[in-house]
Structure 1
Amino acid sequence: MKRNLCLALIVLAATLGGCAANKPGNDPSLIGSWKGVRSENGKCQFLSWKNNFKPDGTFNITFFRDAQQTQPIQTEHGIWKAANGKNELRTAGVPLPDTYTYTLIDADTVHYVSVAKDPSGDCQEDYEFTEHRIRG
């Protein structure tokens, strides 16, 4: 009986491991550090930011009051999922995710359009922005 149970557990573990291995990952072209700004003349309050999309599906983002990024406002972290031109950010402590469509302009430039956001977010307007990869 013990042997059958052990064998069943091994088969189950192998099956689940195989499913995890086939799980689609995040778009690898977004992994890394990026910076962006919200237009000063746009629909929402001006912000600039630096974010880091990690391969393990976590992110952190620091918001700044100024374009030079010397006056931090706050840092947030959470999990991200991106595939097929859709990026979803689930910030820790925020009930609903922010969702964007994205288009890669080149390896170091990505354009986003906001399509869904948590009602507690600082801007409830639809807006778009471009981020640039931070190298070095």
Structure 2
Amino acid sequence: MKRNFSLALVVLAATLGGCAANTPANDPSLIGSWKGLRAENGKCQFLSWKNNFKPDGRFTITFFRDAQQTQPIQTEHGTWSAANGKNELRTDGVRLPDVYTYKLINADTVHYVNVASDPSGDCQEDYDFTERRIRG
């Protein structure tokens, strides 16, 4: 009887472990390179950026002072997770994530609304912006 109980625990653990591995994958429509900008007359300081969402759940984003993206400010790296209209970015070395709701306008355009950000971030306002896919 004890052996059957131990076997049942092993099977249960393997089953639960398999469920954890089946968490939803990142939204594949967001994978790739994108560019965006904050409105110059918006709630937050103007910025433009290029980001790259990689299939392995990592991202890189470079911020620029100008819309032409010739004056870089800084580059950040981290992890991203996106599903069901919610995208969460965890920048390496930053305590709390930035959280956005998003809606795909088409395959090359996505609209975001910032709903939460780390208190050390440059803008604490809820703001929205549109990103466009970079092809080629």
Regarding TM over 0.5, the answer is yes
Which TM-score applies when normalising by structure 1?
0.87
Runs of 4+ in 1 over 4 A off after TM superposition: 11-17
- The separation in 1 between residues aligned to 2:17 and 2:59, in whole angstroms, is 25
Aligned partner letter, 2:52: N
1:23-102 equivalent positions in 2, closer than 5 A = 23-102=23-102
Describe the SS at the equivalent of 1:123: coil
Q: Deviation of residue 24 (structure 1)?
A: 1.1
- The separation in 1 between residues aligned to 2:130 and 2:50, in whole angstroms, is 12
- The separation in 2 between residues aligned to 1:82 and 1:108, in whole angstroms, is 16
Structure 2: unaligned runs, 5 residues or longer: 1-10
- The separation in 1 between residues aligned to 2:120 and 2:23, in whole angstroms, is 32
Q: What per-residue deviation string (whole Å, max 9, x for no partner) do you get for residues 72-109 of structure 1?
A: 00000000010000000000010000000000000000
Q: Report the aligned-residue RMSD.
A: 1.9
Identity %: 87
Q: Deviation of residue 126 (structure 1)?
A: 0.9
Describe the SS at the equivalent of 2:130: strand
Q: Deviation of residue 23 (structure 1)?
A: 2.2
Task: State the number of aligned residues.
Answer: 129
- The separation in 2 between residues aligned to 1:28 and 1:100, in whole angstroms, is 16
Structure 1: unaligned runs, 5 residues or longer: 1-10
Which TM-score applies when normalising by structure 2?
0.87
